[in-house]
Structure 1
Amino acid sequence: MPPKNNYHPALAVTQIRNHITVTLGMDNDQYPLWVALFTNHTKATRVLHHIIETESGKPPVPTTADEKELWDAIDATVLQWIYATVSTELLETIVESESTAMECWTRVQRIFQDNQYSRAVTLEQEFSGTSMADFASVSAYCQRLKALADQLKNVGSLVTNNRLVLKLVSGLTSAYLGEGTVIRQANPLPEFYRARSMLTLEEAGLAKAAASSALYAKHNDDGDSSSSILGKPPNSSNKNKGGHNKKKRRREQGE
């Protein structure tokens, strides 16, 4: 009879990409997001201790053959999750025979945290130079700022909410300066997501106003075009009236 403890929720996961939806490449852009998704999934399936030592320390070492077999199966499963959610280039860098999931996780961590000070300098420069003028919408601009803030946090340079909001405001285009002033003068400063919502509402208002102006201009153009189609210039009736008055005056002078 098979042992009673041969089932574990981690072993029931067949499509890891349904849970970890990003592919981690050699660049740092997706690392914070990948870590967040991966650790959350391992908590849900009760295998976090296979990649990170928990507060209670290392998990108990399996003692029986059945426990050892189950442990090895779960660890191999977690290792497969890592392999399945990274790029081919990164996989070739981290894969090693006879590796545990925790050893592999640590290798990935070191790749993205090595030279963190030089990486922080590069990210700081990019963060400071980011401007809304380079993006198609408020949402895209905000998303980029948040991604850079997350990457800075990952290399040990925490970006506070106030700094993030002030940077958001300082990079706005002229059309949003009014709303930016409202955000900047708030005390305390709003949360980043609240400031983002305020700007997206302003964006929607500006788009609506622009659409109304375009419709009004088109209506006026269509009116002038109708006059041309009829073979008469705009206000032709006034011109005809003026000509009639001149003829009348000439007749009166002749008399």
Structure 2
Amino acid sequence: MSTSSATSASSGAPTMPAATDTSAGALFLHPYATIFVKSHVPLELELHSANYGKWSAFFKAMCGKFGLLHHIDGSVPPRRTDPAWEQIDCCVRMWLYGSVSQDVLDFTMAENQTARELWVAISNKFQANKAPRAIFLSEDFHSMTQGDLSVMDFGKKMKLAADVLREVGHPVAEPTLVLNLLRGIHPKFSNTKDIVAGTKDITFDEALNQFALKELRMANEAKVLSSTALVAATKGYGSSCRPSSSTAPPPQQQHLQLPQQQQQQRRRRKKGGNGSGGAQQQQYQQQQ
């Protein structure tokens, strides 16, 4: 038994092997290097997106889960001469590389930087020029309208805009969110708008659910009216195609009636011929 193994067994504290295990003759792979970052940070940070706040929250939670927050928050000074610390810091840096886009890395990645330095560079990139950005973001937020979007998509768009404003230091209060929703919602929801406006202390989610319910009801009513009109049109077309009672009889009856009509015409001709001949004979006798 080696001296390090004896010390570990006597103290009872687990120890990690060195970077190279000479006794086994194989390279040691740190457990943090086997972690798939996408399993803990499900979204990718993009340069022209509004997901920095969510990405930052996911990544901090991941580092906190493994007890590595000090590698990005600067609470512990770096130990670049310590191989064990350097190995763990490289793992955290690889997590950062794997959770941001190439465009972000083009502006923030540098040679021989620590995970903390990369974290600060990313943060500065997305939080720079807060005051000018807040002006334009606030203007976009307060001019937002629903248009062709569904109620839920419109609410999601407004909530994302509010999150971006919060990230630049201008959080949007709950009543302001509700008022902006009432201002930008489609005019067809005017009745529901009056109900929401008259509800005291209503939250943004509650107001959004009210409009979504009204939208669902209106869509169902339109579907019922469309199906009713289709049924009525189908019935009208079927009745117009039916034959009337004054139309000609079927072909079989026509074949049967044709000989009967010819026989009646012949009888009429015979009677007419006999009548005219008898009258001429009577006139001839009277003249004599």
Normalised by the size of structure 1, how large is the TM-score?
A: 0.79
Matched, 1:6 2:42: no
Mark the CA change 1:215 to 1:10 in structure 2 (over 3 Å): closer, same or farther.
farther
Residue 217 and residue 29 in structure 1: after superposition, are their counterparts in 2 closer, same or farther (change >3 A)? same
How far is 1:73 from its partner?
2.0
| 2:129 matches 1:115 | yes
Secondary structure of 1:132's partner?
A: coil
In the alignment, what sits opposite 1:147?
160
The residue that corresponds to 2:61 in the other structure is 40
Q: Equivalent residue of 1:133, what SS?
A: coil
Per the alignment, residue 243 of structure 1 pairs with: none
* Residue 208 (structure 2) pairs with residue 196 (structure 1): yes
* Whole-angstrom distance in 2 between the partners of 1:36 and 1:10: 23
Q: Assess if the C-alpha contact under 8 Å between 1:10 and 1:74 holds in 2.
A: no
Q: Which runs of 4+ in 1 moved over 6 A?
A: 60-63
Quickly say closer, same or farther: Cα 1:201–1:111, change in 2 above 3 A.
same
Q: Tell me, in whole angstroms, the C-alpha distance in 1 between the residues paired with 2:106 and 2:40.
A: 23
Q: 1:74 aligns with which of 88, 100, 107?
A: 88
1:214-233 Cα deviation digits (max 9, x unpaired): 1111111111111233257x
2:155 partner amino acid = C
The residue type paired with residue 6 of structure 1 is M
d(CA) in 2 for partners of 1:46, 1:206: 52
Match of 2:259 in 1: none
Shift of 1:41: 1.8
Q: Which runs of 5+ in 2 are unaligned?
A: 9-13, 18-29, 247-288
Alignment map for 1:107-186 (pairs within 5 Å) = 107-135=121-149, 137-186=150-199
Q: What's 2:22 paired with? A: none
**Identity across matched positions, percent:** 26
SS at match of 2:73: coil
Give the CA deviation at 1:162: 0.8
Cα distance 1:185–1:227, how it changes in 2: closer, same or farther (>3 A)? same
Determine the structure 2 residue equivalent to 1:59. Answer: 76
**1:71 CA displacement:** 2.1
Greater CA radius of gyration, 1 or 2? Answer: 2
- Distance between the aligned counterparts of 2:177 and 2:117, measured in 1? 35
Distance 2:182 2:31 in 1: 45
With CA pairs under 8 Å and 6+ residues apart, which has the higher RCO, 1 or 2?
A: 1
Structure 1 residue 14 displacement after superposition: 2.3
> Contact (CA 8 Å) 1:10, 1:46: kept in 2 or not?
no
Instruction: Give the distance between the partners of 1:61 and 1:88, measured in 2 at CA.
Output: 26
CA 1:130/1:5 → structure 2, altered by over 3 Å: closer, same or farther? farther
CA distance in 2, matches of 1:5, 1:197: 54
Q: 1:182 to 1:5 in 2, by over 3 A?
A: farther
Rounded to whole Å, the distance in 2 between the matches of 1:192 and 1:78 is 38
Q: Distance in 1 between matches of 2:31 and 2:218?
A: 50
Quick one: structure 1 residues 12 and 80, their matched pair in 2 at CA, closer, same or farther if it must change by over 3 Å? closer
Q: Deviations over 1:189-208 (max 9, x none)?
A: x2222222222222211111
Alpha-carbon shift at residue 134 of structure 1 (Å)? 4.2
Superposition deviation, residue 13 in structure 1 = 5.2
Q: Is the 8 A contact 1:79 1:101 kept in 2?
A: yes
Q: Could you tell me how far apart the structure 1 residues matched to 2:76 and 2:15 are?
A: 16
1:49 Cα deviation (Å)?
2.0
**Does structure 1 conserve the Cα–Cα contact (< 8 Å) formed by 2:79 and 2:86?**
no
Q: Is the 8 A contact 1:50 1:78 kept in 2?
A: yes
Conserved in 2, the CA contact under 8 Å of 1:25 and 1:87?
Answer: yes
TM-score, with structure 2 as normaliser: 0.71
Residue 226 of structure 1 pairs with residue 238 of structure 2: yes
Say what the alpha-carbon RMSD is for the aligned residues: 2.6
